[in-house]
């Protein structure tokens, strides 16, 4: 065909949809290229043809180190071809497959209908995700998972990239994922939605001693602020697309959450099933496989804020980069921080954990402070107080104090501020404040401890009872009657007085939730 006039074409090495992909040598530039060729026939409709030309046009505009470079588009009588740079390496899917080959998921008799029937009995639960993941865990009691804290690159990965010095897999994941986020940051700044992010569309290579990714397929991409077209790949498609809603670039952030989960576990977070009722249940409630305990907390936090069915609360690329960078030290810092540091400024990051009896209103209080629609293990809130910027990370027990006391030390150990809560509608919860204070003093080393009394419509506890208990305990106390700002002022005043919190970078103007000023 006409391409042969300029390119010396080798055999096809991949097929995708209606395209055949060839490796070729460009006689003009003297470089190896990749040719994605579509044959024009009856099966290739006007819509598909439009998407092909749209992909070429977008690639022509995009200039980014993590996006495959466009060479040209060639139109012939019987075919249309997009010529791009040839990227050495393997797909991220193959990379992950090699890394986790010693930890195959065993067929444990997982029964989708059984899970669906069980979940129908739990629809009134206050923590549906916990119930779902507990049920899933019952099928994988004997499953072997790696320890991500100590896991290094698999010998087959080292062999593939001819790497002599082994690296911690966790560090590689952070590097690869931030590169993907920087790529999305670039796309979204130009109002471009990718809409088909998945490991098969990402190439991983090892160049000059560093891992590098390239996004290679833009067949479903569109330059538009919102859209409603149904497309994507099962397991990586955002719920608003599945539900035929109008969506924006946050759909890519959902997909990136699935990819991060896949990088950390070797499996897709969502069960692939022909049962549409079960699929809709997963999508509607963000029900995914439980992450193994070895996954670092900051990754759990990020995944929870990416795999959320409220797009407005889903982290942006900038927010996700910031959270990763503030949580870990990246080996290749000069490579991964360049896109966010120029306009950065310092902020105080403080971890707050809530304690108290089950049902006193701890989760509801966090939801109100952080202005979210659902409960997370960690919720974020940004606020300025007396010219100091604060980033609060609220840790919620999510009902675990009533189920599994053994995990509470993990929740409270690293908290710098402890809010011990009781309800004015429960005298028992007031009596138990002393128990919580004694227990927490054995676990953690919080700099600020504040007892918070929460009012409800059915209050039965008298003010004199509270004053008597607080006086005996000799602790700081705050009576919460619904004024969140007043509570936060008290917390920030206590933190400032005791110089609590560590300095981290904050992107200027970044909003995780609505930022308020209480000066």
pLDDT (0 to 100) of residue 158: 94
517: β partners: 384
pLDDT (0 to 100) of residue 446: 83
Instruction: Give the confidence band of 493 by pLDDT, cuts at 50, 70, 90.
Output: very high
Query: What is the arrangement of strands in the sheet containing 70-75, beginning at the earlier edge strand?
Result: 7-16, 19-26, 31-39, 79-85, 70-75
pLDDT (0 to 100) of residue 408: 60
Clarify whether residues 14 and 96 are in a common domain.
Answer: no
Tell whether the model's pLDDT for residue 18 goes beyond 80: no
Token pair, residue 473, equals 């305990």
Q: Is residue 290 part of a domain?
A: yes
Q: Select the more confidently predicted residue: 272 or 405.
A: 272
First to last CA, the chain: 70
**Category of 75 on φ-ψ map: left (φ > 0), alpha (ψ -120 to 50) or beta:** beta
Q: Is residue 136 part of a domain?
A: no
Q: Do the beta carbons of residue 248 and residue 238 sit within 8 Å?
A: no
Residue that is last in its domain, among 306, 336, 366:
336
Clarify whether residues 292 and 225 are in a common domain.
Answer: yes
pLDDT (0 to 100) of residue 174: 92
pLDDT (0 to 100) of residue 84: 94
The CA-atom distances, in angstroms, between 285 and each of 64, 155, 374, 395, 396 are 35, 38, 10, 21, 19
pLDDT (0 to 100) of residue 404: 46
pLDDT (0 to 100) of residue 390: 86
Of 29-43, 160-174, 181-195, 501-515, highest mean pLDDT = 181-195
Q: Is residue 364 part of a domain?
A: yes
Q: How far apart, in whole angstroms, are the C-alpha atoms of residue 358 and residue 279? A: 32
Q: How far apart, in whole angstroms, are the C-alpha atoms of residue 447 and residue 418? A: 8
pLDDT (0 to 100) of residue 434: 93
Per-residue pLDDT tens for 447-457?
899 999 999 88
Per-residue pLDDT tens for 212-260?
999 998 989 999 999 999 888 888 999 899 888 999 999 999 999 999 9
Token pair, residue 205, equals 């290579």
pLDDT (0 to 100) of residue 53: 87
Clarify whether residues 214 and 177 are in a common domain.
Answer: yes
Mean pLDDT of 84-95: 95
Per-residue pLDDT tens for 145-162?
888 888 999 999 999 999
Residues 6+ apart with CB under 8 A from 390: 347, 348, 349, 350, 382, 383, 384, 492, 495, 501
Q: Is residue 233 part of a domain?
A: yes
Give the single-character DSSP code of 84.
E
Give the chain's mean pLDDT. 84
pLDDT (0 to 100) of residue 383: 84
Residues 6+ apart with CB under 8 A from 412: 353, 355, 418, 440, 443, 444, 446
Model-wide pTM > 0.85: no
Least confident of 163-172, 312-321, 403-412: 403-412
Other CB atoms within 10 A of residue 493 CB: 13
Q: Select the more confidently predicted residue: 140 or 43.
A: 140
380: β partners: 393
Q: Do the beta carbons of residue 136 and residue 408 sit within 8 Å?
A: no
**Category of 206 on φ-ψ map: left (φ > 0), alpha (ψ -120 to 50) or beta:** beta
Quote the percentage of the chain above a pLDDT of 70: 88
Clarify whether residues 297 and 370 are in a common domain.
Answer: no
Clarify whether residues 306 and 416 are in a common domain.
Answer: no
Decide the pairing of beta strands 378-385 and 516-517. parallel
Least confident of 35-49, 214-228, 366-380: 35-49
Q: Is residue 414 part of a domain?
A: yes
pLDDT (0 to 100) of residue 306: 92
Per-residue pLDDT tens for 259-296?
999 999 998 888 888 888 888 888 777 778 877 777 88
The CA-atom distances, in angstroms, between 75 and each of 1, 371, 469 are 11, 52, 82
Decide the pairing of beta strands 202-207 and 210-215. antiparallel
Per-residue pLDDT tens for 377-400?
788 888 888 878 888 989 877 666
pLDDT (0 to 100) of residue 398: 63
- Return the CATH number at 71: 3.30.200.20
Quote the percentage of the chain above a pLDDT of 90: 45
Least confident of 23-37, 434-448, 499-513: 499-513
Q: Is residue 52 part of a domain?
A: yes
Clarify whether residues 271 and 227 are in a common domain.
Answer: yes
Main-chain phi, psi angles of 209, to 5 degrees: 80, 10
Clarify whether residues 6 and 152 are in a common domain.
Answer: no
Q: How many residues does the chain have?
A: 519
SS3 assignment, position 390: strand
Residue that is last in its domain, among 336, 358, 384:
336
Can you tell me which residue has the tokens 């990227």? 87
Q: Is residue 123 part of a domain?
A: no
- Return the CATH number at 368: 3.40.50.300
pLDDT (0 to 100) of residue 505: 57
Residue that is last in its domain, among 336, 359, 379:
336
Tell whether the model's pLDDT for residue 167 goes beyond 50: yes
SS3 assignment, position 90: strand
Domain that holds residue 76: 2-85
Token pair, residue 78, equals 């019987």
Q: How far apart, in whole angstroms, are the C-alpha atoms of residue 450 and residue 429? A: 15
**Number of domains observed in the structure of the chain:** 3
Per-residue pLDDT tens for 413-443?
778 999 999 999 999 999 999 999 988 877 7
Tell whether the model's pLDDT for residue 513 goes beyond 50: no
Task: State the DSSP string of 276-312.
Answer: HHHHHHHHHHT--PPPPTTS-HHHHHHHHHHS-S-GG
Tell whether the model's pLDDT for residue 143 goes beyond 50: yes
Tell whether the model's pLDDT for residue 363 goes beyond 80: yes
Clarify whether residues 318 and 440 are in a common domain.
Answer: no
Residue spans of alpha helices (H) in 6-80: 46-61
Q: Is residue 31 part of a domain?
A: yes
Clarify whether residues 374 and 269 are in a common domain.
Answer: no
């Amino acid at each position: 065909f006409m391409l042969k006039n300029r390119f010396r074409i080798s055999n096809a090495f991949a097929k995708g949809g209606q395209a055949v992909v060839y490796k070729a040598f460009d006689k003009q530039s003297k470089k190896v290229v990749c040719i994605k060729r579509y044959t024009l026939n009856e099966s290739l409709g006007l819509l598909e043809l439009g998407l092909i030309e749209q992909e070429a046009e977008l690639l022509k505009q995009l200039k980014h180190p993590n996006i495959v470079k466009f060479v040209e588009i060639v139109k012939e009588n019987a075919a249309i071809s997009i010529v791009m740079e040839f990227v050495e390496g393997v797909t991220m899917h193959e990379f992950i497959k090699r890394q986790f080959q010693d930890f195959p998921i065993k067929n444990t008799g997982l029964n989708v209908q059984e899970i669906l029937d069980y979940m129908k009995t739990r629809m009134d639960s206050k923590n549906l995700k916990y119930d779902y993941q507990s049920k899933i865990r019952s099928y994988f009691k004997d499953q072997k998972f790696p320890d991500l804290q100590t896991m290094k690159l698999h010998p087959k990965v080292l062999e593939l990239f001819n790497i002599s010095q082994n690296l911690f897999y966790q560090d590689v994941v952070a590097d690869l994922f931030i590169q993907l986020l920087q790529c999305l940051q670039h796309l979204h700044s130009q109002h471009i939605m990718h809409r088909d992010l998945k490991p098969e569309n990402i190439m991983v290579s090892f160049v000059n001693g560093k891992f590098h990714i390239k996004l290679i397929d833009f067949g479903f991409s569109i330059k538009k602020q919102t859209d409603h077209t149904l497309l994507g790949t099962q397991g990586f498609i955002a719920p608003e697309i599945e539900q035929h809603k109008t969506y924006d670039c946050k759909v890519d952030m959902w997909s990136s959450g699935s990819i991060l989960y896949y990088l950390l576990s070797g499996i897709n977070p969502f069960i692939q099933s022909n049962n549409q009722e079960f699929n809709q249940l997963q999508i509607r409630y963000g029900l995914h496989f439980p992450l193994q305990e070895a996954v670092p907390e900051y990754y759990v936090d990020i995944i929870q804020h990416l795999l959320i069915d409220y797009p407005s609360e889903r982290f942006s690329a900038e927010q996700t980069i910031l959270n990763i960078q503030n949580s870990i030290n990246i080996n290749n810092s000069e490579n991964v921080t360049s896109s966010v540091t120029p306009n950065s400024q310092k902020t105080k990051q403080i971890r707050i954990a809530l304690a108290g009896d089950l049902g006193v209103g701890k989760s509801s209080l966090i939801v109100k402070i952080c202005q979210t629609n659902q409960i997370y293990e960690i919720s974020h809130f940004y606020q300025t107080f007396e010219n100091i910027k604060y980033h609060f990370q609220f840790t919620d027990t999510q009902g675990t104090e009533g189920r599994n006391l053994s995990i509470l030390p993990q929740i409270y150990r690293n908290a710098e501020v402890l809010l011990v809560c009781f309800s004015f509608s429960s005298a028992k919860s007031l009596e138990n404040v002393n128990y919580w204070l004694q227990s927490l003093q054995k676990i953690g080393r919080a700099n600020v401890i504040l007892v918070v009394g929460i009012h409800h419509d059915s209050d039965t506890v008298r003010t004199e009872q509270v004053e008597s208990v607080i006086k005996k305990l000799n602790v700081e106390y705050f009576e919460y009657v619904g004024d969140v700002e007043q509570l936060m002022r008290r917390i920030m005043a206590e933190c400032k007085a005791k110089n609590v919190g560590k300095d981290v970078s904050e992107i200027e103007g970044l909003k995780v939730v609505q930022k308020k000023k209480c000066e």
